[in-house]
Structure 1
């Protein structure tokens, strides 16, 4: 039997869910109206692409192309966890996700309940649960003030570390860290020796 959060996701509504970094505003990624609703709620510029929150390496492969041979090793070392991987998108990624760009970012959050919702309803978008340009709230009651009362969510402040995910761009021959989070370049190179920065 579905709980109220899964029901809301299946009805293309936005929900607030915890990750190991910050709270996210999650919705069905492959439904354009659900994605547009999140853009509107966050007041986020449409040219700012969304990530795909997925539940497995197979999901990443399903939506990408030209991935590096070490991708499986990287996944096994760091995911689920606070790492966003950017790869070249294939034709299965709709333009309303990546703003028509040739790439797309992938996240696999490690919070068990959030990951379970992604497995059940995914792929999902899940940008930080705040108004665009404002600091991410670390407390559920703070975040709820940003959004209409009908946006429901899962409260778990204990899961929130407040450190953004590391964004690793693997869409070009040389890897590049676009945003430094809790996972460093040294961490990555120690686990994946054949990656080239």
Structure 2
């Protein structure tokens, strides 16, 4: 991504805006997780309840150090074996994540991406909320055209790029039990 596009992304995120971008398997919507205003706007676009919670994507595992502090060694090993990659883990958050991210859950969804563009995005202002670009219960957008069809001009910036090869949303696992939820 060139410096001009990075500056646009930085500006949008700092203004509590929403970006759309390609991920490993589907197009995603993102914003800064610390911005309640941006997260609520994103949830409104998707027609999704805050109670469901959202996941956070990072470009490297170090960006999640606050969430992973105090985890048992075997759980850290599980993460190290599968990240970066298209696996989202539900990790006990111990009140380290805001309610507008975790919803009604005692876990927070975390993923360290292996998608080069998403890694670049996470290097700009830090980890991002990442959720599929779609209206809740509708199919996930698989192209920029589909993102525009769903959201028209309600996205602040659509980051150009290509989807990864996953062909669908990331797997979701409960870290403490290994249970695969999706």
Fold similarity call, TM over 0.5? yes
What is the correspondence of 1:20-59 to structure 2 with a 5 Å cutoff? Answer: 20-59=24-63
Quick one: structure 1 residues 161 and 155, their matched pair in 2 at CA, closer, same or farther if it must change by over 3 Å?
A: farther
In structure 2, the CA distance between the partners of 1:106 and 1:21, relative to structure 1 (3 Å rule), is same
**What's 1:143 paired with?**
147
Q: Give the unaligned 5+ runs of structure 1.
A: 180-197
Larger mean CA deviation between 108-117 and 9-18 belongs to: 108-117
Q: Displacement, 1:34?
A: 0.7
Contact 1:65 1:90 in 2 (8 A): no
Q: Structure 2 vs 1, CA of residues 158 and 120 (structure 1 numbering), >3 Å: closer, same or farther?
A: closer
Deviation of the 1:64 alpha carbon: 4.3
CA distance in 1, matches of 2:36, 2:103: 12
TM-score w.r.t. the length of structure 1 is 0.81
Which residue is 1:178 aligned to?
Answer: 181
Residue 28 of structure 1 contacts residue 125 of structure 1 at CA under 8 Å; is this kept in 2?
Answer: yes
> Which of 69, 79, 86 is 1:82 aligned to?
86
Contact 1:22 1:160 in 2 (8 A): no
Secondary structure of the residue aligned to 2:108 is strand
Higher relative contact order (CA closer than 8 Å, sequence separation 6+): 2
Cα RMSD of the aligned pairs, angstroms, is 1.9
Give per-residue Cα distances to partners, 1:138-158, cap 9 Å, x unaligned: 111111111131522123235
Partner of 1:168: 173
Distance between the aligned counterparts of 2:92 and 2:64, measured in 1? 11
Task: Report the TM-score, using the length of structure 2 for normalisation.
Answer: 0.87
Q: 1:46 & 1:80 partners in 2: Cα distance? A: 27
Of residues 83, 99, 119, the one that matches 1:115 is 119
Instruction: Tell me the equivalent position of 2:137.
Output: 133
Q: Describe the SS at the equivalent of 2:169.
A: coil
SS in 2 for 1:73: helix
Larger Rg: 1
Which structure carries more helix by proportion? 2
State the aligned residue count. 177
